[in-house]
Amino acid sequence: METVKLGILGMGTVATGLINIIELNNSKIIETINKNLAVSKVLVKSLNKKREVSLPQNVYTTDAYEVINDKDTQIIVELIGGINHAYEYIKAALNNKKHVVTANKALIATHGGELEDLAAANGVKLMYEASVAGGIPILNTISESLAANEFEKIIGIINGTTNYILTQMAESGLEYDQAVKEAQRLGFAEADPSSDVEGDDAAYKIAILSNIAFGQRIEIKNVPKEGITKISKEDITYARELGYNIKLLASAVKNDGELELSVHPAFIPAEHPLSTVKNEFNAVFLKGNAVGELMFYGKGAGSLPTGSAVLGDVMSIVKNSQRDNTEIKKNDRYKIADKAFKPYYIRLEVIDKPGVLAKIAGVFGVHGISLASVMQRQKNGNNTAPLVFITHKAYRKSIDEALNEISRFEEVTKVCSIITVENFK
């Protein structure tokens, strides 16, 4: 039986999962692809580190080109992460006419178009299922099983770290900082969690999803993003009282020939399926014009779930049944819009005296913002009281302008929060 040789760049969390699945499910894999898989070379930073896989010591190297230039290796699996080295190595591998599989969302969101062109020019494949939502097979499902659809929207909870933090704030009553520490202790957040909590990771993933679903190459700078660092326990409590949960959403919504992209925390109705996605789990909710609404749910990270997606790409390359890179369109079918025309939740802290509410409501009115509900609560103890508004749909720009004016009132001590309300209408 023929053996297909893999060169692996990196032997960390995901690569370890990949090797462990190859061992665990070896007979199923051979049965499916009718070939053996073997590892030829593995790039690492440190040759002395103890590894949790049983590969012979002589496969390891610190020279990337020993992996990339190995003449018997057909597929290079890039799992080192980061942009610069990964970009250089993947380009070299594609130019060497080797197929490439990667889990690297930062790289694909930044250089995916160019690398896909290079793969097509060299007659090889570039696959990156694991780069979005880890174990959930969403990219290949969109591009193959759902290929008959025009998509209207894709809305995802595609960052497990932030979903874990928000779930712990809601269910264990933790403050934001405590929830981050808990996520770090359990390995759901990195020592520096900024790429997750500031929304960059989700922005990379929605750019990749939009490319596959809408045939549109997205420049990452065109994805407006806001993370979860300003979400407080109070906002989570109000959300619950109003019948919502707060989640970090990454969305791409088509509207009148425009594509609105965004990463932002949002109030989601408690009864919506995305509201039930908790802790480190991910979900992608989409609407196609033929299939209707679908939701995919599963683990968005971790050694085995992500390794499963990487190995799925490797096997589909071997079976030659994968998506054709030349199918990815370079066109600009849609204008990228940044309108943010939505209902908003606004929480202010005001001095508790008569007439304040009417004064503030007047400013909203002048800016064309109508209010759906107002909640006025007990004093905080320092003669201030929280004031919470839910608006009807309004442009974010108008909300910011109104709040700029409102924040100058002497009765308004703080503009605490502005959060989108997602009603899925």
Q: Which of 4, 6, 8, 10 binds ligand NAP (CB under 6 A)?
A: 10
Residue with tokens 């370890």: 16
Our answer to whether residue 205 is catalytic in this structure is yes
**Phi and psi dihedrals of 394, rounded to 5?**
-150, 160
Segment 63 to 82, residues that bind ligand NAP, using CB under 6 A: 79-81
Structure tokens at 76: 């290079």
Shortest CB 309 distance to ligand NAP, Å: 8
Shortest CB 303 distance to ligand NAP, Å: 7
Q: How far apart are CA 225 and CA 220, in angstroms?
A: 10
Structure tokens at 90: 């993947």
Residue 10 or 156 having the CB closest to ligand NAP: 10
Q: How far apart are CA 271 and CA 274, in angstroms?
A: 8
Q: Which of 376, 358, 202 is nearest to 284 (CA)?
A: 202
Residues 6+ apart with CB under 8 A from 294: 146, 285, 286, 287, 288
Judged by CB under 6 A, which stretch of 102-110, 119-127, 255-263, 382-390 contacts ligand NAP? 102-110
Residue 136 Cα to chain centre, angstroms: 12
| Pairing assessment for the beta strands 99-102 and 258-269 based on DSSP bridges | unpaired
| Pairing assessment for the beta strands 384-391 and 335-337 based on DSSP bridges | unpaired
Does residue 306 belong to the site contacting ligand NAP (CB under 6 A)?
Answer: yes
Residue 85 or 278 having the CB closest to ligand NAP: 85
Q: Which of 19, 37, 100, 134 binds ligand NAP (CB under 6 A)?
A: 134
Residue 44 or 146 having the CB closest to ligand NAP: 44
Structure tokens at 409: 């009132």
Q: Which of 340, 328, 193 is nearest to 260 (CA)?
A: 340
Residue 15 or 387 having the CB closest to ligand NAP: 15
Does residue 136 belong to the site contacting ligand NAP (CB under 6 A)?
Answer: no
Judged by CB under 6 A, which stretch of 9-17, 180-188, 381-389, 408-416 contacts ligand NAP? 9-17
Does residue 44 belong to the site contacting ligand NAP (CB under 6 A)?
Answer: yes
Does residue 103 belong to the site contacting ligand NAP (CB under 6 A)?
Answer: yes
Q: How far apart are CA 19 and CA 25, in angstroms?
A: 10
Does residue 84 belong to the site contacting ligand NAP (CB under 6 A)?
Answer: no
**Buried b / exposed e along 145-154 (16+ C-beta atoms within 10 A):** ebeebebbbb
Shortest CB 227 distance to ligand NAP, Å: 17
Tell me the sheet residues that pair with 253. 153, 260
Tell me the sheet residues that pair with 244. 269
Shortest CB 81 distance to ligand NAP, Å: 3
Does residue 12 belong to the site contacting ligand NAP (CB under 6 A)?
Answer: yes
Residue 46 or 378 having the CB closest to ligand NAP: 46
Structure tokens at 308: 């499963």
Distances (CA, A) of 371 to 121, 362, 365: 55, 11, 9
Residue 88 or 177 having the CB closest to ligand NAP: 88
Residue 159 Cα to chain centre, angstroms: 5
The three-state secondary structure class of 39 is strand
Structure tokens at 348: 């202010």
Segment 221 to 240, residues that bind ligand NAP, using CB under 6 A: none
Residue 132 or 337 having the CB closest to ligand NAP: 132
Q: Residue count at the site for ligand NAP (CB under 6 A)?
A: 23
Does residue 302 belong to the site contacting ligand NAP (CB under 6 A)?
Answer: yes
Of the residues 205, 225, 247, 254, only one is catalytic, namely 205
15, amino acid identity: A
Residue 66 or 152 having the CB closest to ligand NAP: 66
The three-state secondary structure class of 239 is helix
Residue 105 or 323 having the CB closest to ligand NAP: 105
Does residue 14 belong to the site contacting ligand NAP (CB under 6 A)?
Answer: yes
Q: Which of 45, 230, 377, 397 binds ligand NAP (CB under 6 A)?
A: 45
Judged by CB under 6 A, which stretch of 41-49, 108-116, 205-213, 403-411 contacts ligand NAP? 41-49
Does residue 138 belong to the site contacting ligand NAP (CB under 6 A)?
Answer: no
Q: Which of 43, 197, 203, 399 binds ligand NAP (CB under 6 A)?
A: 43
CB 275 within 8 A of CB 250: no
Tell me the sheet residues that pair with 299. 281
The residue number with the shortest CB distance to ligand NAP is 12
The three-state secondary structure class of 123 is coil
Q: Which of 5, 35, 85, 393 binds ligand NAP (CB under 6 A)?
A: 85
**Interface residue list for ligand NAP (CB under 6 A):** 10-15, 43-46, 49, 79-81, 85, 103-105, 130, 134, 301-302, 306
Active site residues: 205
